[in-house]
Structure 1
Amino acid sequence: MRPATVTTLFKYTDKQAIARWRPEPISIDVARQCLRRARRNGHTVQVHQTTARDGSSVHVAHVHTGPGHWDAVDYVTDIYEIPTDALTDL
């Protein structure tokens, strides 16, 4: 089973372009912890179930952290891709 992945996007206050970190693999447990922490801290969290390009079922979680959490950054967005099988095989 493939691990979850997270991609981070952020927009600096002084720049028009949005910076992007390369997708990185993380464990299912770490993804769950990050989503719980985001909800607990009042960030916007949306979770959608969809189908990946290879036909497998995945959950895509979008975490939006607004301004005020980092200097010179307007917002940060984390996008988690979690295989549905990993959530149901516990």
Structure 2
Amino acid sequence: MKSVALYSLMLRTGAEHLTKWRPERISVDIARQCIRRGRRSNATVNVYETTDREGTALHVAYVHYGPELYDGADFVTDIYEMPTAALTAL
């Protein structure tokens, strides 16, 4: 089964530059758990259907956590890039 690419971004309070982590590969199950956790913690969660450059169907989930959830950060955003085939194979 194809994995999910997770991209994480954070802006620390008082910092001028955005902190970015390298894309991390996680399983579809872990991605679903993290997205559900975002919904339960009142983060802004948006899911979009799109395709990549080769025409492969993708779901992109955007989870934006505000400053109330992380000390010392103005926001934390996680972006999950999930192949649609991996979602429907479950």
TM exceeding 0.5: yes
Counterparts of 1:3-22 in structure 2, within 5 Å, are 3-22=3-22
Q: How many residues align?
A: 90
TM-score by length of 2: 0.94
Counterpart in 1 of 2:62?
A: 62
Q: Structure 1 residue 54: deviation in Å? A: 2.2
CA–CA separation in structure 2 for the residues paired with 1:19 and 1:42: 22
**Structure 2: gaps spanning 5 or more residues:** none
CA–CA separation in structure 2 for the residues paired with 1:48 and 1:63: 12
Counterpart in 2 of 1:2?
A: 2
**Structure 1: gaps spanning 5 or more residues:** none
CA–CA separation in structure 1 for the residues paired with 2:49 and 2:20: 23
Identity %: 51
Q: Structure 1 residue 70: deviation in Å? A: 2.0
SS state of the match for residue 61, structure 1? strand
Report the AA paired with residue 32 of structure 1. R
